[in-house]
Chain A
Amino acid sequence: MSQAAQDIGDAVNSAIAEFVRMPFTSASDLAEIGLDSLSIIRIVADVLPDADQEIDAGELADLRTVGQLQDWLGRLVAPGSAR
C-alpha cells in the first residue's frame, strides 16, 4: 500500500469514527454501520482539502463498504497530490 493510500485510509477512518459509534473494518457495510448518504458526503468533504474538487455524488450510490469508500476517495485525491 502506498503512503498516499495509507494516509487517505487513515483520514477516512478517523472521519468515519466521528459518525459511527461501533467498531468497523474496511469490509463493513456502510448502511450496516449506520452511515447514510449525507454522513458519507460530510466525510468526503472533511477528507478532501480542495474546495474546487468536484465529486460526482452519483458515484457514491455504488459504494457499499468502508473499503470501497476508501478506494474511491484515494482515486480522487491521487491526481491532486501529484500536482
Chain B
Amino acid sequence: MTAWTAPLTESQIGLLLVQRTVTAQHLYNIVAVAELDPAYQASEVRAALTQVLTVQPALRMALWAAPQPHATLAPPPTPEQLPLTERVVGDPAQSPAQALGETDTTSAFERQLRQVIDELSAVAFDFTRPPLVRFALLRTESGDRSTLVLTVHHTVFDGYSLRPLLQDLNAALRGELDPAALRPARERALLRELQAQHDAAADPAVATAAAELGKRLRDTPATVIHPRPGRPVETAFAGRRRVLRLGAGRSAAVDQACGQLSITPFVFFCAVYGAVLARHSGHAAVTIGSPLLSRRTVGSYSLCGFFVNTLPLVLETNWDTPFAQYVADVVAPEVRSVKRNAAVPFSQIVRHAAPDRSSNRNPLFSTMLAMQDSTVVEQPHAVRSVHEPATGVAKFDLWLGVTPTADGWLIELDHDPDLIPDTVAEGLLVSLSEAIDRAATDATTPLRALFSDASLELIGATDGYGCAPPADDLDAWFQRTVLDHADRIAVEEPGRKLTYAELDAAVRASAEGLRERGVTPGQGQSQGHTVGLTTANLTDTVVAILAVLRLGAAFLPLDLTLPPDRLAYMVDKADCSLVVGEGSVPGAVVVAPRELAQATTGSHPHPHPHFGSEGWESDRQGGSGGYVMFTSGSTGKPKGVAMGNGPLLNLAAWQLDAFAMDSGTRFLQYAPLGFDVSFQEILPTLLSGGTVVSRAPADRRDLPAVVRRVVEAEVTHVYLPVAALRPFVRAADGVTLDRVTHICVSGEQLVVDQAIEDFFTRHPHIQLINLYGPTETHAVTTQRLSAADPSWPAHVPIGRPVSGVTAQVVDHTGHLAPLGVAGELLLGGRCPASGYVNDRERTDERFVPDPYGEAGARRYRTGDQVLWDESGVLVFLGRDDHQVKIRGFRVELGEIESAALGHPGVREAVAAARGDGADRHLLLFLLPHTDATGSLAQEVDRLLGDQLPGYMVPARVLVVDAMPTTGNGKFDRPALLGTADELIARAEHGGHRGPEAAPADELESWLLQLWSEVLGRTDLAVDRSLLECGAHSLNVLTALSQIEQRRGVRVAVLDFFRAPTIRALAGLLHGAEASS
C-alpha cells in the first residue's frame, strides 16, 4: 500500500494549536469506562482491542504540524504492542485493602478504578507517536467483573466515535470482525472523509456562514459566569463535577414536554440552559458552545475520528416570554440554523469574531452543552454499559452534559473552581434543577418564573458591629454625651479648643438665634425648615450643624465655589431662605455665626444644658432633624437628598462600635461639608466623647501636610476619599503613624496596590475600612482589611451590610440573586433617606416598597450593579447607567450633556469618563450643527465652567465628525473613547501618523519575509499587529512551526497573541536564544 497521508481538518489543527497554548497537555483526553462481560478473558480482550485498532485507522493516526498540517498512519500494533495494562483486584481475603479495614471488594475495585481513571486522564500524548489511545483492563480475581478504561486524544476521537469503537469491540469479542477485509476499506473511508472535510471547509458558502457567525459573536457580550473583577484570565483547567439525576418521574415530564412542544431533548435542554445562563451571567443574550457532528460521508459513521465542529448558539432571552414561545421563536430556530452550519469550522469563526486571544481560555465560548447520546449501549453484547467519568478537568468555565440513561436524564455540570467556586456552581445547579422542572411541568411559565429568590438568607446578614443608641435622636444623644464629658475637648482647630460644655452653650445660643428667625422642626415625615451652611471654619460649622439638629430642622451644606446659578437652584429647590455662614447666596439671607449667637445671648439664657426642660426644646419632635445634600442628576439638575434622623442615628450607633470610638477618639475632619462623609467624621465623634480635629492648616490636596497634621494632632481616625489613599500613604512614607487606629475610605471602588499594602504592613495596628453607600442611604456596607489578612484582594469588596441595613441583590429575573450573580443593589431597613426634596416623582421612582421588609417598609434602588461573592460578601461591579465617579464626586454624564446641548451650535453631546483613580477624567464629544463656529469647543468649555461645579467640567471638549452608535442605537462611548487620543492629537498638532518602522536587524527582516509569505501581503510593518493583517490561529501555527524548525525555539502561542507584532516576536526569539 502506498503511504497513507491526509490533510488535517481545521478542528484538528485547532486542537494542535490549543496543545501548544496550554500547559495541561491532557486537557483534551477523552476518557470512557466500559463494563465488559467478565466471561471474556484478558487475553481475549487484548486480541479484540488489537483488531479494533486494525480496523479503526484514526486510532493509529500521527498528526504533524509542518511543513503543512497532515496525518499519517502507523501500522496496527501486535497484541503485545497494544498499549493495554491489565490489573487484577484481589478477593477480600487476600486483598491488601483488607489490611486497611476494607471489607468490600466492590469498594476496593472502585478505588482501583478511580486510580486508573486518574492515571489515564493525565496521559500526555505525543501526536507524532501513535496510537493516541491507552487502555487499562481491571478484573476481579474471582472473575465476576471486568472493566475497560480507555483514554484517547480528542484529535482522533469525538463523542460519536464511542459507537463504532464499541460496535467493533463487540464484534471482535464475538469473533465476527474481519480485520483483513475491513482494514483497507476503513483506511480508504477515513482518507475519503478527511478529504471531504478539507474540501467542505474551503466552500465559499462556509466562509460566508463563518463571517456571519463571527459577526454575531462580536455583537454579543461574552457569557461570563461569576463576573467578578480580578477573575483569572488563565486557569489550570481543574474541574469539579456536580451531578443531578432527574429520575423517572421528572424525566418523564421532560420527555412529555418535548413531545408536546415538538422539540428534541437537545432543544429543551438548550432552552433551559440558555435561561439559566442568562440569569447567572446577567446578560439577556448568551452564547453556548455545542459540539455538532460534521461527518460527511456515509462511510464515516463506522469510523472513529474527530469530525465535530463546535458551534456557538446565541440565545436572546426576554424574561416575560412564556417558555413555549421562547422555544418556538428563539431556541428551535437557532438550533436549526446552527445545525445547518455544522460544516463551519470553529477556527474560521474565530477569525471573524476577532476575540481577545490573550488568555488560555477558549476564545469563543465559556459555556458548553453536550448531549452525551453515544453512551446508550444496545444489549445483549459483550460491552454491557459505558460512561464518561469525571476526570477532574474543565475545558470550559462551565460544561453541561446531558445523558439519557435507563433511569432517566443524567445532568452533569462541570465547572472550573478557579472561575466558578463551589457555592456559585451549587447555585447554578439549583437554578437549572428548578428551571427544568418548571419548564417541563408548565410550558406557559414566563422565563423569569422558572426561577426563585436565591439569597434570602443574606437579607439581614450584617458585618456584626453595632450598639443600641442610648437616645432616640441625635441631639438627645449628644446632650447625654455633654453631661458625661462636659470638660473634655469636643472640637479642636489651630488656636481654638472647645469643651463639650462650651460647645453645647454655643449650640444653644445659635439654636435660639435660628428659632427667632423662624426655623421650626419637622413634623412626622415632613422635613421642617432647611438652613443653609457656608461656615468658614470647623467650630462654626459644628455649632451650626448641632444647632439646626437641636431645632429638629435640616442643614444644607452650600459650597460658595459653585456657580451662582447652581447655588440659587439648590436653595430654591430645598425651600432654604436662611443661610448661616459667610458670603452671599442668591435667594437666601446669610447670617454670620457670631451675629446669630449674639442675638440671643442674654435674652434667653439657658444655664443648664439639659434636654427636655421647659421651653422651645419640647416643641421638637423626637427623631426629626437631618440634612439635605445635593448630588448630580441625570436630567441636568442636581437632586437634593433629604436625610432623616433615623438613618443617621442607626449609622452613628453602628459606627461607634465598628470604628472602636470612645472619648479617646480624635477624628480628623477632612471631607468637605457637602460630602456625607463629613457627618461621619463629626457627629459620631461628638456622641462618643471624642474630639473632632480640624484639617487646618493643611490644605485638603496637600497630603504631606495632612499627614503632618495627623501626626502632630495625634489623630486616631482618618476618613479619606479612595482617590486620596494612595497619595496619603505615599506622603506617609518614612513616617510612623503611632496613634492612628483606623483609616476609612469611600467614594469609589477601592483598588489596592503594593504601596498601600506595604503601608499597612508597616502599620499593623491600623485597620483599613472600605465603606460604600450612596448619598440616598449613607454608608451601608463595609469591608475591613489589616496586615493580619493573608492576602489582600486588588479589587476590594464593599463587604457586608451595616447593622440595621438590609441589602438585596435583585437579578434580571427580578428575584434575589444567587451567589456570584450580578444584580442591582437595593437597600432597605433603617438606611433609606426620606427622598428627594420637592420631587415626588423621582422619589417614588428610586424609593420603592420593600416586599421583604415590615409593612410599609421602603428600599432604595441604587442603580449599582453588585454581586454576592462565593462567601456572601458584596462586590461592586459598576453601574449600568451613565453615572461615574470623578475624584470621588458622583457625576451624571447626562447632566453635562444636557448643559452642553444648551449651546446653540451643539447638535449632539456625549460625555464619557476615562482613566483610573486620581487620573480619571471626563471627556465631552460634540457633534456640531453645520452652522457652528470653529471655536465651538472653547465656547462650550466656557459655558460648562459657568454652570457646573469644577469636578463636572470635562478635561477636554472634542469635536467629532460623526457620533458612532451601537447596534441598539445608543451612542457608542467605548468607540468614542477609542478615538480620543487621535482627536486630541489632531486638535493639538493637526498631526499625522509617523512613517512605518523598518526592520531593526536580520531577524526582524527574516520574520517580515516569513510573515509576508504566510499572509500573502507585502505591506507588513514590524510594529503593526499581525492580527490586523490577517494572522489567525491556523497560519500562526504554521508560522510558529517554521520558526521552530529554523531557529530551534518554540514560541508559546499565547506569548505571540499577547503582542502579535514582528518586533515583539523578534524580542521573544532573542530572549529565548539568549537564555539557552
Contact = CB atoms under 8 A, between A and B. Distances in A.
Interface of A: 29, 31-32, 34, 36-38, 41-42, 44-45, 48, 50-62
Given A29-B262, A31-B264, A57-B294, A52 B342 contact: no
Nearest to B332: A31
A31 B263 contact: yes
Contact of A37 (B189, B298, B339): B339
Given A45-B298, A57-B293, A62-B340, 19 more contacts: A29-B262, A31-B258, A31-B262, A31-B267, A32-B259, A32-B262, A37-B264, A41-B293, A41-B301, A45-B301, A51-B189, A52-B298, A52-B299, A55-B296, A56-B296, A57-B295, A57-B342, A58-B340, A58-B341
Contacts of A60: 339
A51 B342 contact: no
B262 A58 contact: no
Contacts of B262: 29, 31-32
Contacts of A44: 298
A48 to B, nearest CB: 5
A50 B373 CA distance: 25
B336 interface: yes
Contacts of A36: 264-266, 371, 373
Contacts, number: 81
Most buried by B among A34, A54, A55, A59: A54
A31 B267 CA distance: 10
A41 B336 CA distance: 15
Interface string B146-160: 000000000000001
Contacts of B297: 51-55
Interface string B180-195: 0000010001001000
Contacts of B264: 31, 36-37
A38 B296 contact: no
B343 interface: yes
Given A29-B262, A38-B373, A61 B336 contact: yes
5 contacts: A31-B258, A36-B266, A52-B189, A55-B297, A57-B296
A68 B239 CA distance: 43
B343 A56 contact: yes
Contacts of A42: 301
B1042 interface: no
A29 B332 CA distance: 14
Contacts of B189: 51-52
Contacts of B1027: none
A70 B839 CA distance: 69
B986 to A, nearest CB: 49
Nearest to A45: B301
Q: Give the 3 A-B residue pairs with the shortest CB-CB distance, closest first.
A: A51-B299, A61-B339, A45-B301
Nearest to B266: A36
B211 to A, nearest CB: 16
Interface string B260-297: 00111111000000000000000000000000111111
B196 interface: yes
Given A41-B293, A59-B340, A61-B339, A53 B298 contact: yes
B340 A55 contact: no
A31 B332 CA distance: 11
B112 interface: no
A61 B344 CA distance: 14
Contacts of B373: 36, 38
B374 interface: yes
A34 B263 CA distance: 9
B1041 to A, nearest CB: 31
Contact of A51 (B266, B298, B343): B298
Contacts of B302: 45, 51
A59 B258 CA distance: 22
Nearest to B192: A52
A31 B264 CA distance: 5
A68 B302 CA distance: 25
B126 to A, nearest CB: 31
Contact of B340 (A31, A48, A61): A61
A42 B267 CA distance: 20
A8 B599 CA distance: 109
A32 B265 CA distance: 10
Interface in B677-713: none
Contacts of A32: 259, 262
Interface in B882-900: none
Contacts of A56: 296, 343
Contacts of B294: 57
A61 B160 CA distance: 18
A53 B264 CA distance: 27
Nearest to B301: A45
Nearest to A58: B340
Given A38-B160, A61-B339, A54 B196 contact: yes
Contacts of A41: 293, 295, 301
Contacts of A62: 336, 340
Contacts of B293: 37-38, 41, 57
Given A37-B264, A38-B293, A62-B340, A55 B298 contact: yes
B463 to A, nearest CB: 52
Contacts of B192: 51-52
A37 B266 contact: yes
A57 B258 contact: no
A57 to B, nearest CB: 5
Interface string B310-338: 00000000000000000000000001111
Contacts of B295: 41, 57
A71 to B, nearest CB: 18
A25 to B, nearest CB: 15
A61 B262 CA distance: 14
Contact of A57 (B267, B299, B339): B339
A44 to B, nearest CB: 7
A38 B336 contact: no
A22 to B, nearest CB: 10
